[in-house]
């Protein structure tokens, strides 16, 4: 198994891409701590891990609050004795105001969830990894950081900041045996698209994603959370033993041929 005896924290690991990574990592022998705002969904994911014989820990955590992040890291260390892997996956699109109507609170909230949360977890996990001379950190950016499909300046600014943080930490932490990389997902079928699909039936959602994939992606479809998990497994295992500071597009060929007005027109 590729992650035998490893311990990982996955933020936002209760559903979507985070859940896909949690399940895949557990299948590879990793003990997985899920830090998520939704305690019930985190517990459900851990139950799935446990039923398959894996080890999991569900921790309710607001990843924008320094006290809760610190406590989460301490709980993982207490439960498992170490942290080998940190996946900063938590993030969301909270609002869609144009910049001229955007409030300071809207801006700050988006930056806190999608960028500050990465900083907070790194702040408390990195010292432990330094002491052990080993660590894998995987930060989640977004294709929108370099090729915005819509007007979301606060979200795209945060995701661009994730790339800068990744590069800085990769350079700074390399002497300590700590690898830092980033994944930049394209369209993946998750609750991220609830602003379009939240009120749809299952059939309407299937039709939406099928049509959206045909229009926007060179591969003609949207991605699945497990396809993100496969890329994450590469970065968080020894398969990437000579890779750090990279930002990988997992996007079905985007931005090749992308139509920037697709989301706003759908």
What's the confidence (pLDDT) of residue 129? 98
Fill in the DSSP letter of residue 112.
I
CB atoms within 10 A of CB 196: 14
User: In this structure, what are the phi and psi dihedrals at residue 247, rounded to the nearest 5 degrees?
Assistant: -120, 110
Q: Which of 134, 155, 179, 242 is catalytic?
A: 155
pLDDT value at residue 209 = 82
Q: Could you report the per-residue pLDDT of 9-32, keeping only the tens digit for each?
A: 999 999 999 999 999 999 999 999
Residues facing 59 on adjacent strands: 35
**pLDDT given for residue 264 in this prediction:** 45
Given this model, what pLDDT does residue 265 score?
38
Q: What is the pLDDT of residue 172?
A: 98
Quick check: 176 and 129 in contact, CB under 8 A? yes
Contact between 53 and 31 under an 8 Å Cβ cutoff? The reply is no
Cβ distance 171 to 245 under 8 Å? yes
Q: Classify residue 175: in a domain, yes or no.
A: yes
Assigned domain for 198 exists: no
In a domain, 201, yes or no: no
Residues of the chain with pLDDT under 50: 260, 262-266
H or E segment and range at residue 11: strand 7-11
Q: According to the model, what pLDDT value does residue 22 have?
A: 98
In this prediction, residue 194 carries a pLDDT of: 67
What pLDDT is attached to residue 258? 57
Residue 94 belongs to domain with CATH number: 3.40.50.720
Domain count along the chain:
1
Give domain status of residue 85, yes or no: yes
In a domain, 197, yes or no: no
What tokens does 9 get? 């924290």
Domain that holds residue 71: 7-192+224-265
In a domain, 205, yes or no: no
CB 215 within 8 A of CB 260: no
In this prediction, residue 21 carries a pLDDT of 98
In a domain, 55, yes or no: yes
CA–CA distance, 194 with 70 (Å, rounded to integer): 30
Q: Give the per-residue pLDDT at 263.
A: 47
Distance of CA 160 to the CA centre of its chain: 14
CA distances from 176 to 26, 120, 128, 180 (A): 26, 19, 11, 11
242 as an active site residue: the answer is no
Please tell me the predicted confidence (pLDDT) of residue 96: 87
pTM of the model: 0.92
Q: Are 185 and 142 in contact (CB under 8 A)?
A: yes
pLDDT at 266: 37
DSSP single-letter state for residue 115:
I
Q: What are 70-78's contacts with CB under 8 Å, separation 24+?
A: 70/124, 72/9, 72/33, 72/35, 73/9, 73/121, 73/124, 73/125, 73/128, 75/33, 76/7, 76/9, 76/33, 77/128
- Residue at 203 is within a domain: no
């Amino acid at each position: 198994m590729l992650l035998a005896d490893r311990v990982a924290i996955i933020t936002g690991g209760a559903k979507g891409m985070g859940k896909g990574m949690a399940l895949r990592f557990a299948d590879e022998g990793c003990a997985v701590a899920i830090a998520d705002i939704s305690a019930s969904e985190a517990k459900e994911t851990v139950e799935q891990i446990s039923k398959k014989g894996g080890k999991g820990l569900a921790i309710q955590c607001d990843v924008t609050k320094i006290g809760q992040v610190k406590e989460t890291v301490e709980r993982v260390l207490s439960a498992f004795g170490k942290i080998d892997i940190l996946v900063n996956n938590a993030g969301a699109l909270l609002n869609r105001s144009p910049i001229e109507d955007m409030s300071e609170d809207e801006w700050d909230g988006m930056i806190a969830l999608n960028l500050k949360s990465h900083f907070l977890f790194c702040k408390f996990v990195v010292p432990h990894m330094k002491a052990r001379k080993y660590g894998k950190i995987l930060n989640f950016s977004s294709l929108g950081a370099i090729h915005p499909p819509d007007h979301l300046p606060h979200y795209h600014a945060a995701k661009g900041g994730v790339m800068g943080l990744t590069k800085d930490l990769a350079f700074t932490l390399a002497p300590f045996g700590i690898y830092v990389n980033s994944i930049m997902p394209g369209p993946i079928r998750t609750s991220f698209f609830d602003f379009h699909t939240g009120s749809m039936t299952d059939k309407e959602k299937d039709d939406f994603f099928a049509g959206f994939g045909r229009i926007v992606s060179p591969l003609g479809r949207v991605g699945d959370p497990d396809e993100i998990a496969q890329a994450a497994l590469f970065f968080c295992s020894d398969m990437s033993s000579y890779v750090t500071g990279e930002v990988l597009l997992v996007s079905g060929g985007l931005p090749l041929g992308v139509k920037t007005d697709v989301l706003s027109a759908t």
